[in-house]
Amino acid sequence: MMIINKTEDKIWEYKELQKSIHSGTVEYRESKKEYSVSEKSDEEYEIISKKEDKINVKLDVINLSFYYGKNQILKNISVKIYEKKITAVMGPSGCGKTTFLRCFNRMHDLYSDIKYEGEIIIYPDGKNILAEKKNLNLIRRRFGMVFQKPNPFPKSIYENVAYGLRINGIKSKEELDEKVEKALKMAALWEEVKDKLKKNAYELSGGQQQRLCIARAIATEPDVLLLDEPTSALDPVSTAKIEELLVELKKNITIIIVTHNPRQAARISDFTMFMYFGELIEYDRTQKIFVNPSNKLTEKYIVGAFD
């Protein structure tokens, strides 16, 4: 497990370990490390670890760096994202959260003069997302994405959700109806819109629009849902609805959510990454991060001492 301890020494040790893992020399030590999380933790924490007998890695980020032109934005980030869990990415504004999220679906490739280093291995395939040259659409299909501001298309509620399904070649009305309904139900919006599916999406409230965007993102059944501060434009009630919904969704899908609100990370996530100036300062079980962070900076951030 990625525990980075208090001292610089430990960080260095950790980085060295990562390097040797990467070169394939200490496979065994790595897996031992991964499950030795509880050795330093409190009892409660151990109970949680035992209950979850098996968690799979969905995405293995190895020494990821990212550059806009000559500016290095992400610095050698290594992290394992677990399947059907919620991983929160928190950190002050400008620390690289959005940049990190957009590496997974290769969204940066829509622009020029960008560069990735490192690997993002997606499982169960074991393929490196960053090595893919041609079939970016195949990668992108594995990820649904939801942005900060709700951005429904200027189309009907139904067509917003059907959009990706149509692109994927589904033509039968019956199948479309069924999948649209399923996605809207999963996004906890169906009851509110089932009688007005033909209405323009813009007629919905902000919170409903964001749930519609979630429905649109999950309709095509991606493996991973990426959310970039999805509630920052919403009121507390809509925020609570979306948080509840995400906790429900993780039964079926791996979720990575960027938030600048540590309380949101604490409320809904299983794992939390704390980023600062493009570096991953600490990554651990959310409970550990909030009860007993290993790094002073993390502690400072969660008590609201900056940003």
Ligand X SMILES: Nc1ncnc2c1ncn2[C@@H]1O[C@H](COP(=O)(O)OP(=O)(O)O)[C@@H](O)[C@H]1O
- Positions in the binding site for ligand X (CB under 6 A): 68, 71, 73, 91, 93-99
Minimum separation from the CB atom of position 100 to Mg ion (A): 9
Minimum separation from the CB atom of position 107 to ligand X (A): 11
Q: Which is nearer to ligand X, 183 or 257 (CB)?
A: 257
Instruction: Enumerate binding residues for Mg ion (CB under 5 A).
Output: 97-98
Q: Pick one of ligand X, Mg ion, none as the site partner of residue 73 (Cβ within 5 to 8 A by kind).
A: ligand X
What is the bridge-based pairing of β-strands 271-276 and 279-285? Answer: antiparallel
> What is the DSSP code string of 233-282?
TS-HHHHHHHHHHHHHHTTTSEEEEEES-HHHHHHH-SEEEEEETTEEEE
Minimum separation from the CB atom of position 99 to Mg ion (A): 8
Q: Which is nearer to ligand X, 9 or 113 (CB)?
A: 113
SS3 letters for 100-167?
A: HHHHHCCHHHHCCCEEEEEEEEECCCCEEHHHCCCCHHHHHCCEEEECCCCCCCCCEHHHHHHHHHHH
Closest-by-Cβ residue to Mg ion is 98
Q: Pick one of ligand X, Mg ion, none as the site partner of residue 68 (Cβ within 5 to 8 A by kind).
A: ligand X
Q: Pick one of ligand X, Mg ion, none as the site partner of residue 99 (Cβ within 5 to 8 A by kind).
A: ligand X
Contact of 64 with 118, CB cutoff 8 Å? yes
Q: Which is nearer to Mg ion, 263 or 296 (CB)?
A: 263
Q: Which is nearer to ligand X, 116 or 158 (CB)?
A: 116
Q: Which is nearer to ligand X, 104 or 158 (CB)?
A: 104
- As a whole number of Å, the end-to-end CA separation of the chain is 28
Contact of 240 with 188, CB cutoff 8 Å? no
Minimum separation from the CB atom of position 228 to Mg ion (A): 6
Q: Round to whole Å and give the CA distance between 114 and 15.
A: 25
Q: Which is nearer to ligand X, 99 or 209 (CB)?
A: 99
Minimum separation from the CB atom of position 138 to ligand X (A): 25
Q: Pick one of Mg ion, ligand X, none as the site partner of residue 90 (Cβ within 5 to 8 A by kind).
A: none
| C-alpha dist (Å) from residue 282 to 11, 287, 297 | 10, 13, 9
